[in-house]
Amino acid sequence: MINLETPKKFRPLVEQAHQVAVHVMRPISRKYDTAEHERPVELDMLAKLIDGMNDGGETGGAGAAGVGSRDSAEQNGNGNGAGPKNKNGSNMSTALSIMETCWGDVGLTLAIPGQGLGNSAIAAVATDEQLKRYGGKWASMAITEPESGSDSASIRTTAVLDEETGEYVLNGEKIYVTAGERCELVVVWASLDRSIGRAAIKSFIVERSNPGMKLDRLEHKLGIRASDTAAFRLEDCRVPKEALLGNPEIDTKKGFGGVMQTFDNTRPLVAAMAVGVARACLDHTREVLTGAGVELDADRPALTQSAAAAKFLALEADYEAARLLTLQATWMADNRKPNSLQASLAKAKAGRTGVDVALGCIELCGAHGYDETELLEKWSRDAKILDIFEGTQQIQLLIIARQLLKKTSAELK
């Protein structure tokens, strides 16, 4: 039987994350939305608290840094994923905590030091030596390029091995790197041989202080303004051999499944962000509607209620569907089950739902929702990026179609 309640062992974590959202994030949300590119110093103490909880094993993963396939294997009792019973592990606990902090503020969640999506990328495929070397550092992820967005396989950044020094030399350009200015590491996607295609795509860990990685600019954005978004140029950027994540061999039969495995971990986290924003919008709108005398009754047919109530209940149903898909994807990751399809289903549904719910709530609240004195208009701006990064809505639908129809990327474009 499926249990739709929050697992008992995670309830303290969820409550802690909610208190952070209420008492730390909400009060400064508008401040850092207005003061774009200003570092939220109030989050430094929060980052230390999260690190302490992770080190103490109290949460099983209180942020993106806590998610990894290795953790899931260990929680199942052994390294091959065979365990005596189902497990709710670090992927689920991270998603649940992210839902709460993004109920507070998405941009501030992305700005928490040490909790970048690059940390999930490292945790997904890094060796024990790499985890020891780079663990505990704030990592962002650099995939998108000026001429390569949704089609990650077409990236032009190159990585050439210098046999004399044993270093990889990276050259190219990366844009829309979340937390790119403030992070300590950047996970850069590059091609070992562009003539081979997607099979040659690998990911590399680059120290933010590397002189070959030059900050070009910081973007001015529609939403998530508390989080910096950077553009970089890689000019003869040298990294050690050990900085390559995963297998350095090019396997044309496998394609670039190794680096794509990253998305199986990170897409549910982005879905969780969208779920958190959607719930914030719904909670606020419920207060506005009930305050205006609109009766909301989920047990009555929509046709017997007011148009406003019917609209709200439809939005709430979409939210519940997105939330359950997200938890399913994280549960599968925790139990070492292939979840590429479910990760894309969650990301597609939650990304679209976050936008639809935010705009629908503004429609229901009228002028009250469009005014800057309330956070609802900000949430509507923040929500849009969650339908774009980590794979756009259209790309997710394409991936889902390929999986369901059992087609390759060459067969279904």
- Tokens 């549910």 belong to residue: 268
Residue pair 103/127 in contact (Cβ under 8 Å)? The answer is no
SS3 196: coil
Tell me the C-alpha distance between 116 and 142, whole Å.
11
CA-based nearest residue to 118, from 138, 101, 99: 138
Question: Among this protein's residues, is 145 annotated catalytic?
Answer: no
Pick the catalytic residue from 164, 249, 390, 411. 390
Provide long-range contacts, Cβ within 8 A and 24+ apart, for 2-11: 4/324, 6/96, 7/88, 7/92, 9/88, 10/60, 10/88, 10/92, 10/93, 10/96
Active site residues: 390
